[in-house]
Structure 1
Amino acid sequence: MAEGLRERKKRQTRQRISDVALGLFVERGFDRVTIAEVAAAAEVSVNTLYNYYEAKEDLVLPPDQASPQRLADIVRARQPGESAARAVLAHLRDELRRRDRTLGLTAGFGPVFHMMRAAPTLTARLEDLGRQMTDALATVLAEETGAGPDAPTPRLVASQIGWFHSLVYAEIGQRIVAGEKPDTIAEAVLDLLDLVEGLLSEQALAYATRATRKE
């Protein structure tokens, strides 16, 4: 369906607000910029800004991109014959090969990353987001495997998947700080995922394998 004029204007306004906010945050620091200053620089009212972003942190970590359902959604979409862990590994590899911007693999992301690391509210939100992703994934794994409410396996497998998912972001961050280029980072993290897969137990790698369709 073609995008209507109203929808296009809303998308453009949302993007302009985000771009202006990131520029101010990088220049002056996240905690030193107010919502009112972002609104003024983006030439919108404060109320309009809040219509697009419910919280200041959303300007950096928008819920549609930094979703607590990220891991659960990846696992829900896995192919027949594919397990939960292998689905997430494959998804991460695909994002790395595409130099996906959600991983920070774009030129010029370094200053944004430094700004985020310097803001306690953003780092706390990222940590909480990781926990929420693991919780949501554990729920999906328990539902799909028919595990009881007290069964530990879904939580343990979700925790391992959450661990290597977080490891990817941590490794990318360290390499950004070191000044490495996106292509170099992506290749190094792909090698790291190969190592991670080799270290995971076969039980974890095979857990919650989706049944193949019968002919």
Structure 2
Amino acid sequence: MSEGLRAQKKHETRRNISDVATRLFIRDGFEDVTIAEIATEARVAKMTVTNHFPRKEDLVFDIRTDFTAWPTELIHDSVFHDTRELYFEMLDAQHALVGFSGRGFARMIEQSPILKNALHELHREREANLTELLTRRHPGDGLRPVLAAAHLTTLLRVLFEDVYGRVLEDQPRDAIVDAVWPTAELAFDQLEPVFGTY
């Protein structure tokens, strides 16, 4: 088997496990589903599940790498303006990275202290990654890069929670975009005078 086919097979296996686990978690509750049950339902060995997902909550947040890397890996020039542009692209696309999911998925998280804590951890990791990037780019700026990262990731978290809350209320997805868009514009406008050129 070629490296390309092997990588594709690995990706398909990981996706299948995550999809099966999410379906079981939504149906039965995160705490009540075991790794063994997931492995049986996904038709893989228990060790295969844990090899792909070391922690049970990783089965839910399979976008962890993308979540915590954004916006760090997508910034080319202006931290503020690149983030702003990308946020509205993702909001328009109703992307999971800005809070969109199914209502059942959101309720599953809301009902599990472990998952709620894991979601907060994703936001903290995103802030740490952005802090590291800005501090490396601007080593002589003291606390300024730390503050910039904190402000920008707080803005993203607050907007995420707004979308997530509306998903929990089962609002139509297009209506969520229409409601959040002006709030997001205001939030970015308020932050721009302080960090817009950073």
TM-score by structure 2 length?
A: 0.90
Unaligned runs of 5+ in 1: 208-215
Shift of 1:70: 2.2
Residue ranges of structure 2 left out of the alignment (5+ in a row): none
- Between 1:164-173 and 1:190-199, the stretch displaced more is 190-199
Tell me if 1:202 matches 2:193: yes
Identity over aligned pairs, percent = 27
Contact 1:105 1:186 survives alignment (8 Å): no
Q: Secondary structure at the match of 2:196?
A: helix
Describe how 1:12-91 pairs up with structure 2 within 5 A. 12-62=12-62, 65-75=65-75, 78-79=76-77, 83-91=78-86
Pick one of 186, 194, 199 that aligns with 2:177. Answer: 186
Moved over 6 A (4+): none
Alignment of 1:101-116 (within 5 A): 101-105=96-100, 109-116=102-109
C-alpha displacement at 1:67, in angstroms? 4.3
Q: Relative contact order: is structure 1 or structure 2 higher (C-alpha 8 Å, sep ≥ 6)?
A: 1
What is the aligned partner in structure 1 of residue 139 from structure 2?
A: 146
Q: Are the structure 2 counterparts of residues 197 and 99 from structure 1 closer, same or farther at C-alpha, using a change threshold of 3 Å?
A: same
Q: Which residue identity is paired with 1:88? A: T
Measure, in 2, the Cα distance between the counterparts of 1:48 and 1:168. 36
Instruction: Give 1 or 2: higher helix fraction.
Output: 2
Give, in whole Å, the separation in 2 of the partners of 1:139 and 1:6. 34
Return the index of the structure with the highest Cα Rg: 1
List per-residue Cα deviations over 1:130-161 (Å, max 9, x = no partner).
1221122112112212325xx11111111110
* Contact 2:87–2:98 (8 Å) recurs in 1: no
User: What does residue 96 of structure 1 align with?
Assistant: 91
Q: Distance in 1 between matches of 2:26 and 2:80?
A: 35
Query: What's the TM-score once normalised by structure 1's chain length?
Result: 0.83
Q: Does the aligned pair in 1 maintain the 2:14–2:52 contact within 8 Å?
A: yes
Conserved 8 A contact 1:68-1:133? yes
Shift in alpha-carbon separation, 1:99–1:68, aligned structure 2, 3 A:
closer
Question: Aligned residue pairs: how many?
Answer: 197
